[in-house]
């Protein structure tokens, strides 16, 4: 949730808010381990964790002018 808070508190992100950022926030929330069930919502629905955006050779995907 610290990532979501950082996005919402960054004035540049809020000014450029778009569907891309909404999808990023949704992905962050779906990748958080739920305290009670011990798995992420993605694992519960699909049986596996969603791939991290931070793995794979250090390259992220472009989100507007920002690298994620």
| Predicted local confidence at residue 49, as pLDDT | 83
| Predicted local confidence at residue 67, as pLDDT | 47
| Predicted local confidence at residue 38, as pLDDT | 92
Residue 38, phi-psi category: left (phi > 0), alpha (psi -120 to 50), beta (remainder):
left
Average pLDDT by consecutive 10-residue portion of the chain (68 residues)? 74 70 81 89 88 58 51
| Predicted local confidence at residue 43, as pLDDT | 92
pTM of the model: 0.52
Structure token digits, residue 51: 């791939």
Helices (H) and strands (E) in the chain, counts: 4, 2
| Predicted local confidence at residue 8, as pLDDT | 73
Sign of the torsion angle spanned by Cα atoms 64, 3, 56, 30: negative
Q: Which position has the token pair 């009670």?
A: 36
């Amino acid at each position: 949730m610290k990532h979501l808070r950082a996005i919402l508190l960054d004035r540049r992100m809020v000014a450029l808010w778009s569907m891309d950022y909404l999808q990023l926030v949704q992905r962050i929330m779906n990748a958080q381990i739920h305290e009670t069930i011990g798995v992420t919502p993605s694992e519960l629905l699909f049986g596996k964790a969603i791939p991290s955006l931070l793995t794979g050779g250090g390259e992220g995907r472009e989100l507007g002018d920002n690298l994620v």
